[in-house]
Each structure stands twice: as C-alpha cells, then as structure tokens.
C-alpha cells in the first residue's frame, strides 16, 4: 500500500456526499427541515466540496471520525453519461497522512445512488448557500443506518448554518453531529489512491460490529464541551481514602516509546488494588496483570501521597496528579523520568469494568489537550485476574532491564517502530 497510511483506509468507513439550496431559519418545523429538495441535474454538484460536519449511526463510525480523521474534501466531476458523476475524495488522517478514493455515482429521481460497502441512496435536504446536505439511508448486515453529511464550497460555515444542520439532525432524533476540522490544511489532489478500499472497509465494518470492539464505538452521544483548561485542572487529593480499593484500568495514553507495544502485545487486562501502606499517607498499589497468553501475575509498588501528588519509585521516579473524570473513576497523569527524559502518561481507572462511550470521549479529549498519543483502550477478553494472584517478585528486575536497554538509541528506535506498527494494526482491528 506504499506510502498510503493504512490508517486512512481505516478512517474511510464513513462518508458520503453532498446540496445546494437556500438557507432556512431554524424556526422551520421538522417536517419542513427534512423535506427532500429537488436535484434535477448534476450541474450544481460538480466541483470541490469541503466536508463540514456529519453524523452516522453505524457502530464505530463516530469513533473513527472523531479519533482518526482530520478532514476531508470531495471532487465531483462530470462523466460521459448524463446523470453520472465521478467522485474522488481526499482524506487526511489524524497523523497527517493523505489518501484518495474514487467511485461513480448516478443522479436519479432527485436522489444520488452509489455503492460503497453496500448500496447507498441519498436525498438532498435544505441547507446553506454553497452547501449540500445529504441524507443517506443504508443497510449493513440487515441493520438500518442513517448518515447525514454536510459539505460546503467554503471551508467554514457560520454558526447559524451549523445550527440549522444540528436542528435537522435533532429532527431525525440524531444528536451526535461531528464537526470536521475543515479549516485545517487539506490533502492535495496528488494524494495516492487507496487500492481495495471497499474490500478493506467491509472487513473493518465486520470487525467494528463485533461485540468486543463496541466499547468505544456506540454512535449516540453528546460532544465533550469543556475547555482544555477545565479538563486538565488538577484535583485535590488530601488523603488516601478516596484511592483505597480496586480500580480497573480501562484506557491509557503514554508517550514513552515501547509502552504501546508492551500493552498491546503483552497485556490482556490490568487492575490495581490500592491498600493503606505502613506509614500515614503511604499506599501499596498491587497491580494485577493478565498477560496476552493467559497467565496472571501481580506486583507491588509503594507510593506516597504528598501535596495532592502521588509519588513512587519503581525503578524510575514518578509523580502523578489527579485530573477531573467520571464518577467512580480515577484519572492519573504521571510524569516519569527515564534517562533524563520526562515522559507523560494518562491512565483512566474505574470502579466499574466499563465506562460509557461519552466518558471515554472525555478521556480522549484530555489526551488531545495534552498532545499525547492516541489512547489504548484496554478491554479484557477474559476474566480479570483474581485477588489471590501470585506476586511476581522479578517484575521490578525485568522493568529495570527494559529501562536500561532503552538507553540504547537502537532499542528506542525499534520501540518507536513497533509502537507505530501496532497503532496501525489496532486501527485495522488486527490485534
């Protein structure tokens, strides 16, 4: 697939296209707002369109767009046959990589028809000037889904125009509009095209619809509406009492090379038992980890709470602060010094074994505010390790060896490569 990021493929599950009409005040009734408009000829559709906002009820679609896609634009051109159009879309993935994909569409009976994963039929709804709004109803694996996609000749539309679209979504009882970062730089027309996109997407859709990945991918929910300042404001933690007990580790992000690789290849589940330590304001964190191959092991880390911060030395010195999070959750931002470099991590724990998609999105927003790598969502495929799990006393020693070896530039580079590959494979649902 050459230079084209697999990720881009991954991102492309969802899209559609395109309507031109006059702006309507939001005071219209739902019936008026959802009334299809006429589109007799392809003339108004030709040219370039920036994707402004969308929603899609397909499982996983929201997560994909939200976490992976930066922006997208479409180039529509006439074909020799009347009422046939060629559509090439250019998509920029979260990591800046670009890709394009081309397919044909026909305009028939005021509706646009094309095939993408399955047969799609879109009608046009009223929208802003220089905009098109497509309402697409489609079936995948016997389930009905709805997508609404707003495109514009402009990179940016007014707040009123966006509100109009959101009202239309509300009228269909769909509230989770995603606004695309359409003012950021778009991909050039030279972006490499993705071969076999549809085939890969079919696989992807199959994976996304499996139960075990649904955790992060239910479609309906409200956007996170807090500022980074609010999301990153440290919490007070005067005593160890709120920390005592069991925490399931559900998501994390870490910029230390190798951590993604270890998590993804080495670990199936993780939970922490915090118990009071021998001295006031000290804790023992007993980590229970199930490895990817099945066996469980645990190990202790001694910690001290001081000045609203948790400190420990498990080979390398670390300091943590607590950030705002969901009820029954614990969000820890840690700073770890390895060979003179300070790495940051964010780990989300909960008393619950699962958190809601909205809670995960809030976590993701915090990861974005800190400019940390895409999070790893940890969802055990098996049981969590029992509390009776045997201690692995060599754990600290193994960790020390890993830290020592990472002083070597080659090992560090190798870790960066495996982290990168794993991130791509994760996106494909391969691991």
Ligand X SMILES: *[C@@H]1O[C@H](CO)[C@@H](O)[C@H](O)[C@H]1NC(C)=O
Task: Say how many residues touch ligand X, by CB under 6 A.
Answer: 10
Based on the shown chain and the rule CB under 6 A, indicate whether residue 102 belongs to the binding site for ligand X: yes
Considering only residues 153, 172, 358, 416, which one is a binding residue for ligand X as defined by CB under 6 A? 172
CB 121 within 8 A of CB 108: no
Of the candidate spans 46-54, 98-106, 155-163, 191-199, the one that interacts with ligand X by CB under 6 A turns out to be 98-106
Within a 13 Å sphere around the CA of 68, how many CA atoms are in the beta-carbon half?
25
Nearest to 267 by CA among 285, 249, 247: 249
Phi and psi torsions of 210, nearest 5°: -70, 145
CA dist 268 and 88 (Å) reads 40
C-alpha–C-alpha distance, residues 190 and 154, integer Å: 21
Query: Considering beta carbons, is residue 172 or 424 the nearer one to ligand X?
Result: 172
Q: Pick from 22, 27, 29, 173: which binds ligand X (CB under 6 A)? A: 173
How far is 119 from 103, CA to CA, in rounded Å?
A: 13
Strand partners, 345: 254, 334
Instruction: Give me the least distance between CB of 367 and ligand X, in Å please.
Output: 30
For ligand X, the binding residue among 110, 313, 382, 391 (CB under 6 A) is 391
CB of 311 to ligand X, least distance (A): 17
Q: Please report how close the Cβ of residue 398 comes to ligand X at its closest, in angstroms.
A: 15
Question: Taking contact as CB under 6 A, which single stretch among the options 101-109, 233-241, 365-373, 402-410 is the one that binds ligand X?
Answer: 101-109
Q: Give exposure, 232-241, as e/b (b: 16+ Cβ within 10 Å).
A: beeeebeebe
196 binds ligand X (CB under 6 A): no
Contact string 274-293 vs ligand X (x = CB under 6 A): -x--------x-x-------
**Cβ 389 to ligand X shortest distance, Å:** 11
Stretch that binds ligand X, among 97-105, 208-216, 343-351, 410-418 (CB under 6 A): 97-105
Contact 127, 21 (CB under 8 A): yes
Bin 97: left if φ > 0, else alpha if -120 < ψ < 50, else beta: beta
Looking at 56, 63, 136, 300, which residue binds ligand X (CB under 6 A)? 300
Give min distance, CB of 21 to ligand X, in A. Answer: 20
**Residue among 275 and 344 whose Cβ is closer to ligand X:** 275
Tokens of 70: 């930066």
**Which of 41, 104, 184, 341 is in the footprint of ligand X by CB under 6 A?**
104
Tell me, residue by residue from 52 to 91, as one string, x for binding to ligand X by CB under 6 A and - for no binding: ----------------------------------------
Which positions touch ligand X (CB under 6 A)? 102-104, 172-173, 275, 284, 286, 300, 391
């Amino acid at each position: 697939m050459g230079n084209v990021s697999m990720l881009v493929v991954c991102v492309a599950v969802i899209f559609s296209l395109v309507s031109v009409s006059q702006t309507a005040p939001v005071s219209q009734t739902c019936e008026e707002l959802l009334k299809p408009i006429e589109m007799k000829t392809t003339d108004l559709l030709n040219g370039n369109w920036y994707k402004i906002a969308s929603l899609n009820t397909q499982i996983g679609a929201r997560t994909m767009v939200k976490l992976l896609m930066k922006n997208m634009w479409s180039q529509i051109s006439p074909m020799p046959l009347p009422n046939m159009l060629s559509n090439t879309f250019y998509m920029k993935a979260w990591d800046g990589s670009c890709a394009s994909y081309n397919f044909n569409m026909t305009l028939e009976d005021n509706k646009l028809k094309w095939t993408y994963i399955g047969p799609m039929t879109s009608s046009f709804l009223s929208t802003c000037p220089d905009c098109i709004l497509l309402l697409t109803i489609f079936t995948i694996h016997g389930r009905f889904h709805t997508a609404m996609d707003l495109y514009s000749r402009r990179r940016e539309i007014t707040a009123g125009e966006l509100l109009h679209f959101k009202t239309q979504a509300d009228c269909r009882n769909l509230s989770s509009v995603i606004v695309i970062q359409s003012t950021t730089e778009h991909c050039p027309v030279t972006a490499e095209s993705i071969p076999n996109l549809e085939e890969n997407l079919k696989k992807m859709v199959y994976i996304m619809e499996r139960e075990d990945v649904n955790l992060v991918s239910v479609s309906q929910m409200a956007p996170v509406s807090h500022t980074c300042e609010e999301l990153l404001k440290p919490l007070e933690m005067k005593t160890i009492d709120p920390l005592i007990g069991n925490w399931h580790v559900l998501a994390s992000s870490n910029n230390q090379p190798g951590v993604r690789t270890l998590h993804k290849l080495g670990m199936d589940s993780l939970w922490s038992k915090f118990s009071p330590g021998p001295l006031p304001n000290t804790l023992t964190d007993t980590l229970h980890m199930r490895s990817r191959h099945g066996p469980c092991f645990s190990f202790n880390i001694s910690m001290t709470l001081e000045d609203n911060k948790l400190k420990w030395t498990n080979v390398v010195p670390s300091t943590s602060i607590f950030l705002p999070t969901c009820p029954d959750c614990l969000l820890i931002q840690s700073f770890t010094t390895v060979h003179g470099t300070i790495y940051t991590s964010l780990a989300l724990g909960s008393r619950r074994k699962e958190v809601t998609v909205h809670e995960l999105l809030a976590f993701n927003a915090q990861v974005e505010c800190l400019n940390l790598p895409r999070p790893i969502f940890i969802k055990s495929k098996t049981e969590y390790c029992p509390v009776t799990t045997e201690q692995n006393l060599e754990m600290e020693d193994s960790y020390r060896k890993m830290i020592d070896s990472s002083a070597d530039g080659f090992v560090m580079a190798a870790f960066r490569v495996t982290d990168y590959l794993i991130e791509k494979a994760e996106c494909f649902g391969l691991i």
